[in-house]
Amino acid sequence: MKLLILGGTAWLGRTVAETAIAQNHDVTCVARGTGAPVGARLIRADRDDEGALDAVAAERWDAVIDVGRQPGHVRWATAALAATAGRYVFVSSANVYASQAEHGADEGAALLAPLTADAYTSPDDYGAAKVACETAVLDAFGEARSAIVRAGLIGGPGDPSGRTTYWPRRFARPSSPSGEVLIPDAPDLPTAIIDVRDLAAWLVQLADGGASGTYNAQGDVRAFADHLAAARAVTGHAGPLVVAAEDWLRERDVAEWSGPRSLPLWLADRTWWGMNDRSTARARAAGLALRPLSETLADALAAGHAEGKAGLSDPDERVLLTELTREQP
């Protein structure tokens, strides 16, 4: 397969390129930066330039995989490549849905209104921007020649956010001599992590004559307590778990989901719990295969990437543990 990847130098795009190269596909990456994997042709271009893809549009491609997020980039790409590319695989997001409250919702759930601008600047518009990108793909390629993959939380080796490395790292290296680890009181919170390698393999499969249509692509749904148990098992942690009430954590400015001074994956707002509990039956029927969570967590820990990007620092956790222990009877 002659494959064009719009991206290919950052985490997911690079993993897609490496996967395709390992399968002996002819891979070309279009990106602003450097760092395309060995075996790929790199064409440096800035997609902010409406004519950035003119050179590759003159070639014929079996398929395109696009990890873009700005509507203008995708509108220009699909218009330029519709006549010369056989298939278009677009990596969208579960953030396109209008509601994240329902559990088990499938691809037919209501979407946000598409962003009309060519670019978004506020994180609040990310989902609407992805809806606009999806619309551009379908307008140019139609459903029969496209696959839209609404990815959930991606994890595994190289995770630049640190969300999937925090818990195994914390259990491997507790901040306190006693081995205590602070966790939020949210045992039933749904979590779902799709390994970047599994997602990349499926994207290449879709590009190489795979199924068409729109798909939710998430990992197996695991209760937060089960996710923590898997992370503990990977590291052999046997210390105490110190459970903090959600209100107590919020009063002390502990953030949710990601970022500094957070407890990653934690979501106190139940209206967001459906985000990690969507139906993936359609994707599985189309060939999506998932490895065990334990393997994803172990490999993410071994890679050691993005430490400190998310979670509590050791000093912050020790302060919180001391305060919580002092308050408990």
The per-residue pLDDT for range 28-74, each reduced to its tens digit, is: 999 998 888 999 999 999 999 988 999 899 999 999 999 999 999 99
- Residue spans of the domains in the chain: they are 2-151, 158-192+221-270+292-327
Identify which of 148, 127, 126 has the alpha carbon closest to the alpha carbon of residue 137.
148
* pLDDT tens per residue across span 163-203: 999 999 999 999 999 999 999 999 999 999 999 999 999 99
Report the topology of domain 2-151. Rossmann fold (3.40.50)
Least confident interval from 37-51, 85-99, 105-119: 37-51
pLDDT digits (tens, 9 = 90+) for 122-148: 999 999 999 999 999 999 999 999 999
- Regarding beta strands 2-6 and 61-66, do their DSSP bridges make them parallel or antiparallel, or are they unpaired? parallel
Indicate the DSSP class of residue 260: B
DSSP 79-133: HHHTTTEEEEEEEEEGGGBS-S--SS--TTSPBPPPP-SS---SGGGHHHHHHHH
CA distance 264 to 158: 16
